[in-house]
Structure 1
């Protein structure tokens, strides 16, 4: 299995649009995962048919047993996250504030506080035209997005480990979700745009990806909006010996495809669609060389 993650240093570069198009173009059997669990939207353009959902249990949270609680206030005094609240005279934990530090369990003289598992998200296993898609939804404000990304990938590999390719739509940025997405991948496609922040954040995400010794490719989306920045990006890739496998022009058909909820390659042979077809062909050739190593 060849494992490919599509990532970006910043949001709004067109990463999900490119992932959806590649899912239609890459050869062989395929399993997909949307690892942008804080704002998963690959499903918006692939029209998945839900097969099942599984709860995701994040870090434990404190729970106060009202029958044992003496209302001494020690837990509230020592909680640095203001998670202990009083409702009608009864002490209770606000789960959205609890960080799972367990200090309250140590200071409670009546042993009324325990750490209990809590559901902070859901993992969805769905069918799409090219195979299966694993995606997730994290409870707003919940932490552990890196752990949920790991769980999404684990589900995909357990259910479709015999697929020839594993295509991951990764999260933007350089934090824990990205690290969890890139871990175990063979190749990473960094999608950027010709802007000051696009080039800056591309360099940052490439620095992170290099720690995992993956093959790195770059795609410049909407390259014709700023030719000067595109040339700077090309110069950087050349200097760093990073293959630039494609440049996608600005194309209103992309917006129409997103509004219609379909991959842009389903909108006919427009400029963006043709460019992505070329990227898929180049990527296939690179992956053959990667598999031969």
Structure 2
């Protein structure tokens, strides 16, 4: 089993559009009918907008704890408020209460309370879902606004996807990773076989790319780079190419700016399915073939990667 994670140093670079195109292209070729999909961008999970999944199972996700005061047992001494560094304990006309949004779950108040009137309570912070999508099983989740534990939820999504792939002997898990370089990204990339970084030809794009590559290097994950909308600022694209060459990283493609991409988003489709002959579709097809060539090295009897035409024939809709 191989794990391919698609990343970006920041949001808005086109990462999810690339994942949707790959999911469509994977419906033909060596991975046809054998891909497990995972949307690990739990803070803004939007892969389902394109894959139109039918939910088969949902579960609440619990992570983190907040303090809760037992009003009947509390003697209103205020010791808890004095120890709280997050101003999460507030005095009201009814007595001391805990603001669950401000509470960081450190439990200092629990240990400070002289009457054991405070306990830590586990919170429901999100929802995990398992669905059947246009291009295969999809594991995805949604973290509720303002909640933490996104790294834990990413781990849950990824572990379930990998477990299904192992149980059903499927060769590829395709992961839509979170943006940035924080805990959710670490949870998505550690142990992956290959990462494709989607960047854009700007100064900020190069800086974000550097940080993302440093993270991947730390975890020993090989990386490829795809420059999206490369023709919008050719000088910026050249700078990214030069940086990648200097660091021994392959820039596998320059995807041109193409109005077909937002058109596909409006239509709720992968661009390679929406307009197979569009410049972006052809470029992404070339990227997919290069990615498959890397991943398929250790797969027995691997066939050449699918092209846009192959995928279109297998998916007439």
| Common fold: TM-score over 0.5 | yes
Unaligned runs of 5+ in 1: none
Q: What is residue 18 of structure 1 aligned with on the other side?
A: 18
CA 1:290 to 1:239, structure 2 compared with 1: closer, same or farther past 3 Å? farther
SS at match of 2:170: coil
Q: What is residue 248 of structure 2 aligned with on the other side?
A: 241
The alignment status of 1:109 with 2:117, answered yes or no, reads no
Deviation per CA, 1:82-128: give whole Å up to 9, x if none: 21133442322221111010011011111010112111111111111
Unaligned runs of 5+ in 2: 301-317
State the distance in 2 between where 1:289 and 1:150 align.
27
Q: 1:273 aligns with which of 278, 281, 285?
A: 281
Deviation at 1:291, TM superposition (A): 5.2
State the distance in 2 between where 1:95 and 1:151 align.
24
Deviation per CA, 1:258-285: give whole Å up to 9, x if none: 1111111111210001111111111111
- Residues 2 and 291 in structure 1, CA contact (< 8 A), matched pair in contact too: no
Where in structure 2 are the equivalents of 1:195-234 lying within 5 Å?
A: 195-234=202-241
State the distance in 1 between where 2:298 and 2:211 align.
24
State the distance in 2 between where 1:86 and 1:40 align.
38
State the distance in 2 between where 1:273 and 1:159 align.
30
Q: What is residue 169 of structure 1 aligned with on the other side?
A: 176
State the distance in 2 between where 1:117 and 1:49 align.
29
State the distance in 2 between where 1:259 and 1:177 align.
28
Q: What is residue 161 of structure 2 aligned with on the other side?
A: 156
- Residues 8 and 173 in structure 1, CA contact (< 8 A), matched pair in contact too: yes
SS at match of 2:46: coil
State the distance in 1 between where 2:204 and 2:50 align.
26
Deviation per CA, 1:176-235: give whole Å up to 9, x if none: 111111112000001011111111110110011011111210101011111111111111
Q: What is residue 252 of structure 1 aligned with on the other side?
A: 259
Deviation per CA, 1:51-100: give whole Å up to 9, x if none: 11111111121111122111111112211112113344232222111101
State the distance in 1 between where 2:170 and 2:279 align.
31
Which range moves more in the overlay, 234-243 or 107-116? Answer: 234-243
SS at match of 1:66: coil
- Residues 257 and 264 in structure 1, CA contact (< 8 A), matched pair in contact too: yes
State the distance in 1 between where 2:292 and 2:163 align.
25
Deviation per CA, 1:26-50: give whole Å up to 9, x if none: 2421111111111111111111111
Scaled by the length of structure 1, the TM-score of the pair is: 0.96
- Residues 86 and 102 in structure 2, CA contact (< 8 A), matched pair in contact too: yes
State the distance in 2 between where 1:83 and 1:182 align.
34
Q: 2:45 aligns with which of 20, 40, 45?
A: 40
Scaled by the length of structure 2, the TM-score of the pair is: 0.89
State the distance in 1 between where 2:163 and 2:98 align.
36
Superposed CA RMSD in Å reads 1.4
What count of residue pairs does the alignment treat as equivalent? 292
- Residues 23 and 130 in structure 1, CA contact (< 8 A), matched pair in contact too: yes
Deviation at 1:290, TM superposition (A): 5.6
